[in-house]
Amino acid sequence: MINLRATLCAVGFLAALGAGGAVFSFPAEVQAGVPDLGWLEGDLGQVLNVRGMTFVASEASSNEFILRADIARFYPDRQVADLEIVHVEVAPGLDRVGFEMRCDVGQLNLSTQDLVAEGNVVGTIEGGRRFEALWVVYDEAKGVLYTDDPVLIVDEDGRYRGGGFRYLVNEQRFRLLGGASIVQDP
């Protein structure tokens, strides 16, 4: 399998924006590494290969977390899945707005509902704010969606670049990190 992360870092991150047509590049040397949460260390045990995987976590009568992947390798002993071509929705609830995102590859811990998303990660959070990054982690227990890699944020007021972000899902609070700047169209 091609190491997607290494390939993307080698060429840099390019995000094409539809309306303005501007292209932005985040050099590979400023990118942070994707966190390794240790889910797949040691003996993995049995592997189940799945095409068209759907994972749903629900509470009462509402689906809170829905993940779809074109291809998955599921490790039952670890309750972890390696994923390809991924779409995730964390539904709004009484005390959260939720979010949606897509990525090329990822890892899902089914027991905790934590997710590591990599490669062309594009998503939408509260207020229609859109983000683009090379990797993003969702920590369900802390209710935080984050990256420490360069990110592009697009909302109704403009386009912004930063060294990462933190989105506190349950509190509907967003913080752009690391030298945030406004991106102006040429």
Q: Give the closest residue to 73 by CA, choosing from 101, 102, 43, 53.
A: 53
Calpha distance 98→78 (Å, rounded) = 27
In the predicted model, is pLDDT for residue 34 greater than 90?
no
C-alpha to C-alpha distance for 67 and 45, rounded to whole angstroms: 23
Q: What is the reported pLDDT for 135?
A: 96
Task: Write down the pLDDT at residue 40.
Answer: 79
What pLDDT sits at residue 162? 92
pLDDT at residue 55 above 80?
A: yes
Residue 70 has pLDDT above 90, yes or no: yes
Q: Which two tokens stand for residue 177?
A: 């990190």
Which pLDDT belongs to residue 17? Answer: 27
Average pLDDT, whole number, for the chain?
A: 78
Q: Are strands 13-16 and 23-26 parallel, antiparallel or unpaired?
A: antiparallel
* pLDDT(167) > 70: yes
The reported pLDDT for the residue numbered 163 is 93
The whole-number pLDDT of residue 4 equals 28
Which tops the pLDDT comparison, 179 or 147? Answer: 147
The percent of residues above 70 in pLDDT, for the chain, comes to: 76
Query: Domains of the chain, with CATH numbers?
Result: 44-183 (2.60.450.10)
Confidence of residue 13 (pLDDT cuts 50, 70, 90): very low
Look at residue 78 and tell me whether its pLDDT is greater than 70.
yes
Q: Which residue has the tokens 């982690």?
A: 137
Dump pLDDT digits (tens) for 99-158: 899 999 999 999 998 999 999 999 998 888 899 999 999 998 898 999 999 999 998 888
Of residues 71 and 99, the one with the higher pLDDT is: 71
The stretch 58-79 carries a mean pLDDT of 86
| pTM, 2 dp | 0.76
Residue 11 has pLDDT above 80, yes or no: no
Q: What is the C-alpha to C-alpha distance for residues 132 and 109, in angstroms, rounded to an integer? A: 23
